[in-house]
């Protein structure tokens, strides 16, 4: 979590704002760029002057959050409440906006601003962004404004954001990041942090992507905005929690899923339409044959039961094939025809593009019409037939070769 010094500094700023002072967090050079504080917003009309004056952000996350009427939104590190109040306006009376902050003085300030604005569909919570005091799958959108960079455990922050989002939920924040070459040069980074105090602890662009991916997010986009010099940038960071049907959740596969994943695998092999293999491998064999990333399961949110999975294998170790993978997707036989395979494959395609995969390959028996229809619906095309390529249960069988070429990754 943010250390006591950080919380103390922001509590001091909150007390100054409660006294009517204008508060400034970062150095004058950073504010001179016009992108920190209230200068980062397009529309603050109707907000209490104090809320605007107390803004300490580095952008406007609401500009990309695409909030809709009736949604529930959570602001991580809500400070004086400006983003919570703007969110409450956008989600309307049927929606709700939560603000979370570690400082009791900031919470007092934010509640005062909400009262002044006459906004009732808000709630301010005391807590750490690394341990959110909200139930699983309870919000539609997570926003934040120049706060995550202050955390000492950013992986925990992103994992918690993923946990509280509903399937299909959106993550849209403003933050300070460093360009990748700055992250690789400690002396240069220290100089930047001394010059712009609020850049301390910022992730590199690549580091942000990796932590979001590990948490389970897909559709990751990091858009650099204001340039503060020396490789320090403001950025908009966007990602999505994979969508799936009611009562289910798609998340990264873990070792605890081993027994259920292999049982589903075996059930698919027993059908005679999934693979030339007849016996599922051990978990050690499974993990050795699959890439360590690009593995996901669909699980029941009440019981935790795994009902389907998708994973990728390397096609070749040659560098030219770095962005080419072969995938497998299996659904529990009692849960088929419910859109689970489609949701898993959709999430896999998005995650693959996030990881730089430009081609996904698969081999499918011609008789497996359900799998063929699913893959073709998601942009796979048949590129050829391997005739009588193998003998399966006494019958020589053909295999259709399919591939999906990404349109998001240009050569």
Structural domain harbouring 60: 4-240
Q: Is the pLDDT of residue 35 over 50?
A: no
For the segment 18-46, the average pLDDT, to the nearest whole number, is 50
Looking up residue 324, the CATH number of its domain turns out to be 3.40.630.30
pLDDT of residue 11: 47
334-377 pLDDT, tens digit each: 998 899 999 999 999 999 999 999 999 999 999 999 999 999 99
Query: Is 17 among the domain residues?
Result: yes
181-198 pLDDT, tens digit each: 665 566 666 666 565 555
Query: Is 411 among the domain residues?
Result: no
Examine the domain organization and report whether 282 and 207 are in the same domain: no
Nearest to 149 by CA among 109, 99, 203, 222: 203
Examine the domain organization and report whether 86 and 227 are in the same domain: yes
Query: Is 366 among the domain residues?
Result: yes
pLDDT of residue 194: 61
Confidence tier at 228 by pLDDT (50, 70, 90): confident
Least confident of 37-41, 152-156, 182-186, 342-346: 37-41
Q: Is the pLDDT of residue 14 over 50?
A: no
The total number of structural domains that make up the chain:
2
Examine the domain organization and report whether 192 and 79 are in the same domain: yes
Q: Is the pLDDT of residue 308 over 90?
A: yes
Cα gap 43→217, rounded to integer Å:
30
Examine the domain organization and report whether 60 and 77 are in the same domain: yes
Examine the domain organization and report whether 345 and 278 are in the same domain: yes
The DSSP symbol for 391 reads E
Better-predicted residue by pLDDT, 227 or 138: 138
Which of 240, 259, 280 is the endpoint of a domain? 240
Examine the domain organization and report whether 234 and 274 are in the same domain: no
Burial 118-137 (b: 16+ CB within 10 A, else e): ebebbebeeebbbebebeee
- The torsion angles phi and psi of 193, rounded to 5 degrees, stand at -65, -30
pLDDT of residue 76: 96
Examine the domain organization and report whether 108 and 27 are in the same domain: yes
Which of 215, 240, 265 is the endpoint of a domain? 240
Better-predicted residue by pLDDT, 41 or 385: 385
Q: Is the pLDDT of residue 389 over 50?
A: yes
pTM of structure: 0.86
Query: Is 229 among the domain residues?
Result: yes
Query: Quick one: what percent of the chain has pLDDT higher than 70?
Result: 80
Examine the domain organization and report whether 165 and 262 are in the same domain: no
Cα gap 341→84, rounded to integer Å:
37
For the segment 380-409, the average pLDDT, to the nearest whole number, is 94
Residue partners of 65: CB distance under 8 A and separation at least 6: 73, 87, 141, 143, 170, 172
For the segment 49-64, the average pLDDT, to the nearest whole number, is 60
Least confident of 108-117, 155-164, 262-271: 108-117
Examine the domain organization and report whether 201 and 281 are in the same domain: no
Query: Is 313 among the domain residues?
Result: yes
pLDDT of residue 229: 79
Query: Is 410 among the domain residues?
Result: no
Examine the domain organization and report whether 298 and 227 are in the same domain: no
Which of 240, 274, 299 is the endpoint of a domain? 240
Examine the domain organization and report whether 263 and 363 are in the same domain: yes
Examine the domain organization and report whether 315 and 183 are in the same domain: no
Query: Is 113 among the domain residues?
Result: yes
Looking up residue 130, the CATH number of its domain turns out to be 3.40.50.150
60-110 pLDDT, tens digit each: 777 778 899 999 999 999 988 889 999 999 999 999 999 999 989 889 989
């Amino acid at each position: 979590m943010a250390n006591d010094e950080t919380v103390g500094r922001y509590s001091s700023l909150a007390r100054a704002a409660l006294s009517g002072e204008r508060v400034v967090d970062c150095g004058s050079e950073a504010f001179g760029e016009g992108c920190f504080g209230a200068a980062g917003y397009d529309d603050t009309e109707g907000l209490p002057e104090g809320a605007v004056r107390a803004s300490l952000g580095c952008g406007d996350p609401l500009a990309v959050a695409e909030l809709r009427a009736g949604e529930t939104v959570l602001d991580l590190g809500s400070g004086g409440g400006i983003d919570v109040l703007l969110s409450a306006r956008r989600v309307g009376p049927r929606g709700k906006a939560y603000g979370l902050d570690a400082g009791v003085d900031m919470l007092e300030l934010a509640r005062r601003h909400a009262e002044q604005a006459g906004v009732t569909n808000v709630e301010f919570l005391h807590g750490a962004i690394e341990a959110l005091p909200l139930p699983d799958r309870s919000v539609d959108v997570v926003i934040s404004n120049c706060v995550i960079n202050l955390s000492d455990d950013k992986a925990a922050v992103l994992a918690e954001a993923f946990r509280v989002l509903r399937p299909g939920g959106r993550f849209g924040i403003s933050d300070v990041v460093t360009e990748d070459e700055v992250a690789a040069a400690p002396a240069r980074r220290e100089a930047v942090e001394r010059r712009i105090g609020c850049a301390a602890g910022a992730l590199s662009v690549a580091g942000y992507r990796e932590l979001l991916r590990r948490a389970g997010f897909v559709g990751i986009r990091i858009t650099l905005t204001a340039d503060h010099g020396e490789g320090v940038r403001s950025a908009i960071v966007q990602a999505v929690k994979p969508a799936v049907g009611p009562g289910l959740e798609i998340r990264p596969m873990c070792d605890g899923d081993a027994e259920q994943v292999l049982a589903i695998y075996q059930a698919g092999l027993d059908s005679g339409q999934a693979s030339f293999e007849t016996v599922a491998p051990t978990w050690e064999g499974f993990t050795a044959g699959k890439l360590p990333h690009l593995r996901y399961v669909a699980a029941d949110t009440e019981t935790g039961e795994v009902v389907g999975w998708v994973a990728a294998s390397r096609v070749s170790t040659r560098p030219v094939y770095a962005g080419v993978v072969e995938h497998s997707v299996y659904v529990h036989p009692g849960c088929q025809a419910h859109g689970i395979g489609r949701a898993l494959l959709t999430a896999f395609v998005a995650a693959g593009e996030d990881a730089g995969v430009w081609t996904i390959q698969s081999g499918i028996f011609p008789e497996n019409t359900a799998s063929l229809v699913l893959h073709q619906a998601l942009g796979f095309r048949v590129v050829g037939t391997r005739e009588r390529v193998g003998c399966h249960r006494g019958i020589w069988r053909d295999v259709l070769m399919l591939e999906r070429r990404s349109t998001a990754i240009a050569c």
